[in-house]
Amino acid sequence: MIYLETPKKLRGFIEQAHGIAVNVFRPISRKYDSLEHTYPKELDILAAIIDGVNAGGASRASAAQLAKDAAPAETGGRTKNGGNLATVLAMMELCWGDVGLALTVPRQGLGNAAISAVGTEEQKAKYGAQWISMAITEPGAGSDSAAIRSTARLDGDEWVLNGEKIFVTAGDRSDALVVWASLDPSLGRAAIKSFLVPRNAPGLKLQRLDHKLGIRASDTATFLLEDCRIPRENILGSADIDTSKSFAGAMKTFDNTRPVVAAMACGVARAALERAREILGRAGLLTGDPRTPWVGSHLEAELARLEAEVDVARLLTMKAAWMADNRVPNSTEASMAKAKAGRTVTEVTLRCVELCGSCGYDETELLEKWARDAKILDIFEGTQQIQMLVVARRLLGKTSGELR
């Protein structure tokens, strides 16, 4: 049975994450929003603390811990609250502080989650302590990952990769990339595989860093792969092409990472609502009991409605993470959580800016920044529209070719 309250064993850990948000992230949030592409040195100490906690084997949350927990059969049939749930709960707190800074904590990249999901034990041992970014999107392949045109061919004991990758989060700061490329474009989705590409690999070139609307504390890079050579063993998973299985192995990563992005959205939305309540309360505009909004003003009823939307997104996110911890297929729930949370955070942050009037638009207020940060959370790791397609296909039993 699933229980959607915060597990008792994780509460102390969640409080620590909230402490980091309050004492580390919030004080430097505006600073690195203004200093785009400047690495936040303050995060080095935080990364060292996370490494120490993980090495000590305590309850922890990190990209590298996703999908590592035992199945119910290995725990006497009991439900398990493991690394996936711990990660999303911690991410909610960290992104309550600052989502851009949360995305740029060393060794917590989405590529680390990919290695955790489909990497071999040797790959995990070799790259687990490194900072790994994810390189999927291409100029001609945005939301449709199956449209990837980057190629990989085997030349002796090396893979040779060619292509261009855009919107690589933490690309300039990471130690390696997980690059998606096709072994044979004529075979479609089934030929798409993921590869570990060290930043010093010959033929890998950082083309540019992008200037963005939000999450400016996190760098976003474009890479060119021109006859880029990596060792044969750097493929994630099997090199065999099975046209009957599409590219489910590569997509498995998303089942773990989409709830994490949903958690980011929940954290930002909650921060905006709490700040809006503070601003409006200080102005004397909230006079009713928040537990009974139906007897208060329209403003109070609107805040209550937005809080209900955030609660729904949070519970969907926790459910998707819990399912991953217990080895229950969660592709549908992961996409539901991502779609709901992405839509909710954009609505909530913009509405809070609007409700707070001039205070909401002021650059001395974090509400303005959160409204800018929110938009990407509805886009990356699969847009809201793509998530709705995934959900519809699974509920209706349709293939991607049948329902587009």
Please spell the DSSP secondary structure of 236-296, one letter per residue: ES-----TTSTTHHHHHHHHHHHHHHHHHHHHHHHHHHHHHHHHHHHTT---S-TT-GGGS
CA 31 to each of CA 106, 217, 366: distance values in angstroms, whole numbers, following the listed order: 19, 9, 12
CA atoms within 13 A on the CB side of 321: 35
CATH level 3 topology of 8-122: Butyryl-Coa Dehydrogenase, subunit A; domain 1 (1.10.540)
CATH number of 131-236: 2.40.110.10
- Specify the domain boundaries for CATH 2.40.110.10 within the chain: 131-236
- DSSP state, residue 325: H
Q: Residue 63 has what pLDDT?
A: 54
Residues 214, 208: Cα–Cα separation, whole Å: 17
**Positions marked catalytic:** 381
At 291 the pLDDT is 63
- Give the pLDDT confidence score for residue 340 in this predicted structure: 98
CATH 1.10.540.10 segments of the chain:
8-122
pTM recorded for the entire structure: 0.91
7 three-state secondary structure: coil
> CATH top-level class for 248-396?
mainly alpha
How does 188-223 read in b/e, with b if 16+ C-beta sit within 10 Å? bbbbbbbbbbbbebeebeeeeeeebebbbbbbbbbb
Residue 86, C-beta contacts closer than 8 angstroms, at least 6 positions apart: 10, 13, 59, 60, 61, 65
- As annotated, the residues of the chain forming the CATH 1.20.140.10 domain(s) are 248-396
Residue with tokens 């909401």: 360
CB 65 within 8 A of CB 116: yes
* DSSP annotation of 103: T
pLDDT tens for the chain, residues 1 to 404: 666 678 888 899 899 999 999 999 999 999 999 999 999 999 998 888 777 666 655 444 555 555 544 444 445 556 688 889 999 999 999 999 999 999 999 988 888 888 887 888 999 988 888 999 999 999 988 777 778 999 999 999 999 999 999 999 999 999 999 999 999 998 888 899 999 999 999 999 999 999 999 999 999 999 999 999 999 999 998 888 876 665 655 566 788 889 999 999 999 999 999 999 999 999 998 876 666 666 678 899 999 999 999 999 999 999 999 999 998 999 999 999 999 999 999 999 999 999 999 999 988 899 999 999 999 999 998 899 999 999 999 999 998 889 88
Q: Looking at the DSSP assignment, which residues form a beta bridge with residue 135?
A: 179
* Phi-psi domain of 22 (left: phi exceeds 0; alpha: psi -120 through 50; beta: other): alpha
Q: Determine the pLDDT at residue 82.
A: 86
pLDDT at position 59: 45
Q: Which one, of 102, 103, 101, 93, lies nearest residue 33 by Cα?
A: 101
